[in-house]
């Protein structure tokens, strides 16, 4: 829990100690202190974006979603491979997807379906989806996730909102709730993770919860006499500029307002839906409101928001679980993408939906599909990319890439390009001070999309 209560002596008029106040500048939000977040370099190009910045929303499907049952239906394959679901036509001629995604089918022109992602290492984690890199032979500190890289290279877009926010909850299998690690970028570029410490209510300022930060007047009244005592004592002058900015974040309502869905049109909130906050076994929850929250966060100034949605490790009852989860994913993703288009943000915000690997072509004796790292898929939208297309194909059984294999690093090069980062020149220094390219130099943005 993050709090600035103190039992030390030497209190101000509100009962808080001077030492307690000094801790404000070091409040750790999911591993990143506010001063560190705010001291990130700022290199903004607001002339090309309605937001004033570009952003990425990544939806991670923990456990490995079954590609043959989603965007790559094998209608001509034997029954033990094809499964129970039929393919339906979309609003783009020649593109067919699973019948349980009717909303995506009606707006397929706003999506690109990548059917041939290769190179998964097979681990039950979000490593490659969040960093683009194999977990093997990682440099000291580890590879940084996309949100940490964007924070490091581009800095904060708003002094009141962290550049990188991870909405995933803490899961029984912790890697499935991974919001993205900062790696060698350092803790100053870690994600703000309001849902991994027991909830947003754990962030408190002298009894003021994060939910109540939206009431700016109450917050300022709570700290007014405290601030006067600090200024009179000269303590304020001893803090550096970034600590003052950190304090400013706590007195701003911008971040709290981004989390406050009551400020949205009720009809829009209803369109997104709520889903369920109950964790799915040892994986994430099925909250639909986090899709709306992600859009609000990028509008407020976040550069990258990561979301964990449900648990997709279906070794049994594959089709029963798909009937439960596919419609929810269909609703959440289409609501988000349509909302971005309606608000004129489809060129500013990139959305990607994927998991760590695919599933076996052959259905097992428990009506499930097992781990299959040879090929997987992704759904991508926004970012000004060329959508309404299929990229790549797999063999008749969906077991391997047949045409246009796509690597994780190619996808990352494309996402970085969509936010204005040139992967041919941009670097981040590792812990030894060595400049590291964001992707290996042989990988370029996908020409099909940019």
Q: Is 302 within 8 Å of 165 (Cβ atoms)?
A: yes
Domain boundaries, the chain: 53-196+257-437
pLDDT digits (tens, 9 = 90+) for 42-95: 433 444 557 899 999 999 999 999 999 999 999 999 999 999 999 999 999 999
pLDDT for position 50:
74
Mean pLDDT of 329-354: 98
| Fold of the 53-196+257-437 domain | Alkaline Phosphatase, subunit A (3.40.720)
> What's the Rg (C-alpha) of the chain?
23
CA dist 49 → 54, 68, 357, 390 (Å)? 7, 37, 33, 27
Poorest-confidence range of 132-141, 156-165, 221-230? 221-230
- pTM as predicted: 0.83
pLDDT for position 86:
96
Residue 254's pLDDT band, with cuts at 50, 70 and 90, is confident
Residue 10's pLDDT band, with cuts at 50, 70 and 90, is very low
The residues, any chain, with a CB within 8 Å of residue 265's CB and separated by 6 or more, are: none
Residue 217's pLDDT band, with cuts at 50, 70 and 90, is low
| Neighbour tally for 28: CB within 10 Å | 15
Q: Is 191 within 8 Å of 331 (Cβ atoms)?
A: no
* Position 105 pLDDT exceeds 50: yes
CA angle 228, 231, 234 (to 5 degrees): 150
* Position 382 pLDDT exceeds 70: yes
Residue 206's pLDDT band, with cuts at 50, 70 and 90, is very low
Which structure tokens are listed for 24? 């404000």
């Amino acid at each position: 829990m993050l709090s600035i209560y103190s039992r030390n002596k030497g209190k101000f008029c509100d009962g808080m100690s001077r030492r307690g106040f000094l801790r404000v500048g070091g409040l750790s939000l999911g591993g990143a202190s506010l001063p560190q977040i705010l001291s990130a370099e700022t290199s903004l190009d607001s002339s090309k974006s309605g937001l004033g910045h570009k952003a990425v929303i990544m939806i991670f499907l923990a456990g490995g979603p079954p590609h043959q049952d989603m965007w790559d239906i094998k209608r001509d394959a034997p029954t033990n491979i094809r499964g129970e679901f039929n393919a339906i036509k979309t609003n783009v001629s020649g593109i067919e997807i699973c019948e349980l995604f009717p909303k995506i089918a009606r707006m397929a022109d706003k999506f690109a379906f990548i059917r041939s992602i290769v190179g998964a290492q097979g681990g039950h984690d979000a490593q490659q989806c969040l960093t683009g890199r194999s977990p093997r032979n990682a440099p000291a500190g580890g590879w940084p996730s996309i949100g940490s890289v964007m924070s490091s290279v581009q800095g904060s877009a708003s002094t009141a909102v962290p550049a990188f926010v991870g909405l995933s909850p803490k899961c029984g299998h912790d890697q499935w709730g991974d919001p993205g690690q900062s790696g060698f970028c350092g803790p100053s570029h870690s994600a703000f993770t309001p849902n991994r410490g027991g909830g947003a209510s754990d962030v408190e300022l002298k009894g003021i919860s994060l939910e109540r930060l939206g009431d700016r007047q109450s917050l300022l009244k709570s700290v007014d006499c405290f601030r006067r005592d600090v200024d009179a004592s000269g303590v304020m002058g001893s803090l550096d500029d970034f600590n003052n900015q950190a304090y400013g974040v706590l007195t701003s309502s911008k971040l709290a307002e981004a989390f406050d869905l009551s400020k949205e049109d009720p009809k829009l909130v209803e369109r997104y839906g709520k889903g369920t906050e109950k964790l799915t076994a040892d994986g994430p929850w099925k909250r639909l409101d986090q899709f709306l929250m992600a859009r609000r966060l990028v509008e407020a100034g976040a550069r990258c928001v990561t979301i964990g949605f449900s648990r997709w490790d279906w070794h049994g009852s594959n089709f029963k679980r798909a009937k439960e989860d596919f419609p929810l994913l269909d609703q959440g993703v289409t609501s988000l993408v349509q909302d971005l288009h309606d608000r004129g943000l489809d060129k500013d915000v990139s959305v990607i939906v994927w998991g760590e690997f695919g599933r076996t072509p052959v259905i097992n004796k428990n009506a499930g599909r097992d781990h299959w790292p040879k090929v997987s898929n992704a759904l991508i939208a926004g970012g000004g990319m060329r959508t309404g297309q299929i990229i790549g194909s797999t063999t008749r059984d969906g077991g391997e890439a047949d045409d246009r294999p796509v690597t994780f690093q190619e996808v990352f090069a494309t996402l970085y390009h969509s936010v204005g980062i040139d992967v041919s020149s941009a670097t981040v220094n590792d812990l030894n001070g060595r400049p590291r390219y964001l992707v290996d130099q042989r990988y370029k943005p996908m020409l099909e999309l940019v």
